[in-house]
Chains A and B, each alone.
Chain A
Amino acid sequence: MERDPVLKRYLLFVFLLQSDKSQNRTNERTDNHIAAFIFSLNTSGEDSITELNPRLLPGEVVIAEAQNVLLFAPVSEQKQGKSGSLSVTNFKLTFVTAEERPREESGQQQNLLLGEYDVCLSNVDVVYQLVGDKKRRLVPGSNVSGKVNGLHILCKNMRVLSFSFKFSPVGHGKILTNALLHHAFPRRHQLLFAYDYREQYYNCQREVCTFWELDDWKQELSRTGCQGWRLSAVNQSFQLSTSLPQWLVVPQAILDWQLGDAARHFRGSRPPVWCWGSSQGAALVRMADIHPTITERVKENVMLENVRKSHPQRRQPLLLDLSKDFPNPRDVQFSYTKLRELCAPESLHQFWVQDSRFFSLLESSRWLHIVSLCLCKAIEAADAIQRDVTVVLQEGDGRDMCCIVASLVQVLLDPHWRSLRGFQTLIQKEWVVLGHPFCTRLAHVFTTESEQSPEFLVFLDCMWQLLQQFPAAFEFTETYLTTLWDSAHISVFETFLFDCEHDRTKAAGDSNNHLVLRSVWDWGEQFQEQDIALFTNPLYKACSHSQSKQLVPQGGLSSLSIWRQCYFRWLPLLEIPGGGQAQIDLQHRQLSAEVAALQRSEPAPEHTVTQVGSFFPFGHGVTRPGVLLGSSLTLNTSFLPAEALLDSQSLLNAPD
């Protein structure tokens, strides 16, 4: 069994901490014991104190620090934890412990910018103060005046961190908390770490097309072979719309001045723009709703008429309304918080209570419902385009659901986007350049009337569902998708940092800023080769011969499942040691390595079977099954309605 070395590595201590006041005597003893233990930790090695300093990046500074902090293991009833020091810097919340396991041994993904127990400030979502058994939500930007015994932090990627300052010197908890409340929720964009990061940057990624240049669009037009559309410079210097890129692909028949005139009638000045087309002639077009103050829809109809004329057969386009019966950003955020409750239970008790009603709770979160809606709409649109009908996606500002559906349609229709490079290019085009308000939706900058909403996660979830239904169709893996979601909350990369091209250009052009545009697609900035290798799907190349051009997925809710790796990975008690999808992936890697070796007519490498946990490479150690079992049984009983239990027939006439 691999359990023992893992446990050794994990070094979990059991601190029997009871906040129960009736047990003061034992508490004192425990406290002394732990204090002594921590003391011994700090003095054991000669340089152990220097070791507990956080690792800093160039340009990163420590703002506040707390010593002798306990980090509790997730859902451990605050009974297991590690001791270390906790700091807030201008980049991250960082916990440094002497008990850190050797990273290369853990098999975990290693981020070059963040340690195992670090989170970027941009990832911090909600901060609670622990008061006795209760949690009090703290207001960003406010000051805590009293003593802080503990913190409970919810991250945007569903990670949960619980700290206790019980053994910290007086005042440490308060200082740290106040620093976190100020720096994790900056009110100005320039306060994000990207502006302070001083590491040299040599742009190593040339593969992903940014769509910043005229040529990028030209290439895309000619690659698709779509006729009837032209490039327009009408938005040069963002004079037409600040949320659209400087180069637009528009109907051939329309003149730039007409376009400029019409644009003012649309929300965000976003008239119909081309984003993809088939060589047959049908195109995929995105546009905003007509401005709410304008009642007549003449301009809209004129524009749609121009879209129609762009089709070689002058076919009437199909207009898909993504506002009606579709979730708005607030709905998505609400759904996400419900989903997160299920993935970040506060206690073991809550975990099992949720477990007994898991499916109905999941349903009431409506998360899978939203994913299903997006997939079904994309399937409908792809079907129309396949029938050579142009599809126009229309939605409020055309910057949220439009991004999701437009990307999905293209993934379904065009194998080009299913490679790793193609997928990144697609996100660059549909999300980054066409103006998904990442900064607002991911809440990099704090505002009181928050419009935070993880639309991008909805898209990644849709993609994950497709990966499940077509395991060989994509060059990338679920590990890649999960990593991409994590990376959206790292304030080093420009890709997901801005609301639109206009903001990016302005920020980068301002010489006071010293802002270096560092692309998230440059994965070498974050990871070493062995971690990047896990992004590519071993089945993609091996089974390339049997890949179909169009994917027709099943979008119904009953065909979807929950993305365990991304959502459950912070719950160690749900990790299956030696099980899960990770084993299949691992096996395919070995198999395709053997096949590749044989193709080079080398002897096949020996099977070096390693077993990993089901959340690999995001596993966090292995829990002993006993912990889970003991707690499961107390709650297992009487989940049936009382009538069923008391049914005399079922009780007494039981032949068994």
Chain B
Amino acid sequence: MDRKGSAELLSCDTNCSKHASCDSLASDSKSSSLNSKLGQESVGSDKGSPSKSYCSSSSTSTENVVSTLESKIKGKANVPESGPPSRPDDPPLLPEEKVQGVAREVTYLCPYSGPARGVLSVTNYRLHFRSMDRDTPYVVDVPLGVVSRIEKVGGASSRGENSYGIEVFCKDMRNLRFAHKQENHSRRNVFEKLQQYAFPLSHKLPLFAFEYSETWPENGWTVHEPIAELKRMGVPNDMWKISKINENYEICDSYPTVLAVPAQATDDDLRAVAAFRSRGRIPVLSWIHPESQATITRCSQPLVGVSGKRSREDERYIQLIMDANAQSHKMFIMDARPSANAIANKAKGGGYESEDAYQNAELVFLDIHNIHVMRESLRKLKELCFPNIEESRWLSGVESTYWLKHIKCILAGAVRIVDKVENHKTSVLVHCSDGWDRTAQLTALAMLMLDPYYRTIKGFEVLIEKEWLSFGHKFQQRIGHGDDHHSDADRSPVFLQFIDCVYQITTQFPNAFEFNDHFLITILDHMYSCRFGTFLCNSDRERAVEGVKQKTVSLWSFINSNLDVYRNPLYWAPATCQQVLIPIASVRHIILWKGHYCRWNPSMRPQDPVYQRTRELLVLKEQLEKQAEECRREQQSRAARNVATPPRLASPIHS
């Protein structure tokens, strides 16, 4: 695997140098180096469809990388099973993907390069458009999971060119407009098929992930083994034990089966604490400091209510968490919410810990706003970034979305947690209201800053599996997979915000992460795509009921089978890299992630990303090392031969 990878890199290098000019054409937002490499390969691997196509399809950068990857791997691993040899305007199909509807003479109204006429196809996985009127076909390739809303534009009375068609609103910061010819009567069928397959759950159809089957060399479902991960952190130990009390999701149906809790806590204690915490989400261990034993624990809000109820068991349990860390006689409870929201929650039976009841605990509010504020902020950001940017008001426009301020606020909260744990050796308990949105953001970010393991590709996958998936972040609700209620108030970009925060840390510490931002974008793209089972459902329990692990493919299978494209060439080996990262949570250091939010706009792409150059250097070094190695071996074998044959001392020439 490794050897093959390096060979590819080498071939990439020569390609880069030869096709420097075409490179920039083909380059997409994040991975021009990848693209140029894949571009060259796809020429070889699928001769049928012109490789030019995706060079030109600058509008769907990441999909292109992904789909090219697929076609490449498909070409290598297994012969495509579906259907007869494809015609050039047919979409590339995944296993079990089937064309459901095709419309010809459709015009894609590209906001950047103007209208393009071609063929629009709908499958049970994607919307695919290929232009027929350009030398280099323009391709739009969107997984239907990304679609949030579909609307008809214009009616029978519409006049004027391109005024009759369909508009598709996407969850990934873009809208697509297609114009149909009225006389073709093609719109109705496309619209219906799109509705059906973009919102399968609303039409009693399965999500594509349950149909899709493809085998990968790696099995992503085994990436996170809860007990192994706890063992990695040294748990169980004297102070912490692994509890199976939630094996059948009895005390909390949104928690995983394996929980790490203070060793002294009995099952009765846990049940009593569960009764006092919203939805039974008791404080459990997220991370433990390998030296100081200071911990990060997470939970939901206490059920204090207007009357200010108390629970002796809960108070004692918090004391146990504090006592488990001998370094400090204090503990911090970080409530992610603004204090006003925490107080307001008392009216609904929730609330926060009073410092009178919890001796030695200090309560801090981190002022992170709720899912509705964040959804509104992202909506404004989309308005600003898509389709075109107003340059003169760009900076104040960015500010007025508050997006970066929210990002800063979340980062600042995580840094505070890290500061307490690392610098003050004090344990921190984190919660918000239910402990599955802001809490997950904070604990996962703090762990990423504290523990270099989570900055590797596999470690980051574990982090997502653990802090987000197993602890019940409601991906189904927050994303609305396959559901047509686009204005559902439960939807919110909480996980996107987390990934944005990770991106911010990677920009501040460019060599501390094994992965690049193509990795982050791939995770986000497939969070929406519904091709993999990873981000389906709301909790471990639901995934178990649905048999997600058995019936779907894990995103990590796909990613881990082709790690090279997700590697950050600037990464310094873990032994030499900084243990704890403390990013600066000042807006002066926070940047808008243009590579993600503005990636559909071709003018916003970096021209000559620095990591491409790093990669060139690495490749050069590798080549040279190989040469040096060969030289050395040759010398050795020559020396060995020289030993075998007697030295020719008789030689008369001595100069």
A625 contacts B617, CB within 8 Å?
Answer: no
B341 touches A651 (CB 8 A): yes
Q: Is A628 an interface residue (CB 8 A)?
A: yes
Closest A-chain residue to B582, C-beta based? A625
Closest Cβ neighbor of A543 among chain B residues: B613
Say yes or no: A632 contacts B621, CB within 8 Å: no
B-facing residues in A575-600 (Cβ within 8 Å): 575-581, 583-584, 587-588, 591-592, 594-595, 598-599
B17 A546 Cβ-Cβ under 8 A: yes
Per the 8 Å Cβ criterion, residues 391-412 of B in contact with A are 391-396, 398-400, 402, 404-405, 409, 412
CA distance A546 to B434 in the complex (A): 53
B423–A587 contact, CB under 8 A? Answer: no
Do A651 and B344 touch (CB < 8 A)? Answer: yes
| In the assembled complex, A356 has its CB within 8 A of some CB on chain B | yes
Could you say which of A473, A574, A655 contacts B434, with CB atoms under 8 Å apart?
A: A655
Interface centre among A577, A579, A633, A640 (most CB of B within 10 A): A579
Q: Which residues from chain B contact A594 at a C-beta distance below 8 Å?
A: 621
B73 to chain A, nearest CB (A): 28
Residues on B with beta carbons closer than 8 Å to the beta carbon of A649: 372
Cβ proximity bits B322-353 to A, threshold 8 Å, 1 near / 0 not:
00000000000000001011001101100000
> Do the beta carbons of A363 and B395 come within 8 Å of each other?
yes
A574 and B614 in contact (CB under 8 A), knowing A598-B624, A654-B371, A656-B432?
A: no
Interface size on B, residues (CB 8 A): 88
Which A residues touch B369, using CB under 8 A? 640, 650
Q: Do B391 and A556 have beta carbons less than 8 Å apart? A: yes
Question: Is B419 on the interface with A (CB-CB < 8 A)?
Answer: yes
Asked if B98 is at the interface (CB within 8 A of a chain A CB), the reply is no
Interface residue A131 (Cβ < 8 Å from any Cβ of B): no
Interface residues as binary, A546-590 with B (CB distance below 8 Å gives 1, 0 otherwise): 101000111011110110100010000111111111011001100
Chain A interface size band reads: 35 or more
A1 to B398, CA, bound (A): 36
Majority secondary structure of chain A interface residues (helix, strand, loop or mixed): helix
**B371, B607, B628 — most chain A CB neighbours (10 Å):** B607
* A359 interface residue per 8 A CB criterion: yes
Interfacial chain A residues near B396, Cβ < 8 Å:
359-360, 363-364
Stretch at the interface among A178-186, A313-321, A604-612: A604-612
Q: Does B100 contact A (CB under 8 A)?
A: no
Q: Cβ of A341 < 8 Å from any Cβ of B?
A: no
> In the complex, what residues of B have CB within 8 A of residue A609's CB?
572, 576
Stretch of B167-175, B505-513, B514-522 that contacts chain A: B505-513
Q: Tell whether, in the assembled complex, residue B438 and residue A656 are in contact, meaning their CB atoms are under 8 Å apart.
A: yes
Q: Smallest Cβ distance from B85 to chain A, in angstroms?
A: 37
Which residues of A have CB within 8 Å of B16?
A: 546
| B residues near A368, Cβ cutoff 8 Å | 395
A439 to chain B, nearest CB (A): 33
Contact of A308 with B by CB under 8 A: no
Pair B489/A653 contact, Cβ less than 8 Å: yes
Judge if A357 is at the interface, Cβ distance under 8 Å. Answer: yes
A604 touches B370 (CB 8 A): no
Cα distance A363–B397 in the bound complex, in angstroms: 10
Residues of B within 8 A of A552 (CB): 607
Q: In the complex, what distance in Å separates the CA atom of A611 from the CA atom of B582? A: 14
B579 contacts A629, CB within 8 Å?
no
Is the Cβ of B371 less than 8 Å from the Cβ of A655? yes
CB neighbours of A543 from chain B (8 A): 613, 616-617
Q: What is the bound-complex CA distance between A564 and B508, given in angstroms? A: 12
Encoded as 1 (CB less than 8 Å from any A CB) or 0, chain B from 493 to 509 comes to 00000000000000011
Residues in B neighbouring A548, C-beta threshold 8 A = 20-21
- Of B373, B376, B402, chain A has the most CB atoms within 10 Å of the CB of B373
How would residues 430 to 465 of chain B score, 1 for a CB under 8 Å from any chain A CB and 0 otherwise? 001110111000000000000000000000000000
User: Across the interface, do B589 and A656 meet the contact criterion of CB distance under 8 Å?
Assistant: no
Q: Is B588 an interface residue (CB 8 A)?
A: yes
Question: Is B373 touching A542 in the complex (CB atoms < 8 A)?
Answer: no
The 8 A CB mask of A355-367 against B (1 = contact, 0 = none) is 1111110111000
22 example contacts (A-B, Cβ-Cβ < 8 A) are as follows: A1-B579, A358-B587, A368-B395, A470-B608, A471-B613, A542-B620, A546-B16, A556-B389, A558-B394, A564-B589, A568-B588, A576-B509, A578-B509, A598-B628, A614-B508, A628-B585, A636-B367, A654-B341, A655-B371, A655-B433, A655-B490, A656-B436
- Measured CB to CB, the residues of A under 8 A from B are 1, 355-360, 362-364, 368-369, 372, 469-473, 539, 542-543, 545-546, 548, 552-554, 556-559, 561-562, 564, 568, 573-581, 583-584, 587-588, 591-592, 594-595, 598-599, 601, 603-604, 607, 609, 611, 614, 624-626, 628-629, 632-633, 636-640, 644-645, 647, 649-656
> Which 8 pairs across A and B sit closest by C-beta, in order of nearness?
A598-B624, A363-B395, A359-B399, A360-B396, A471-B610, A654-B370, A609-B576, A359-B395
| Other A-B pairs, 16, CB within 8 Å; known A587-B614, A640-B369 | A355-B587, A359-B404, A363-B393, A471-B608, A539-B613, A546-B20, A558-B391, A584-B510, A591-B614, A624-B423, A633-B416, A640-B373, A650-B369, A652-B347, A656-B433, A656-B436
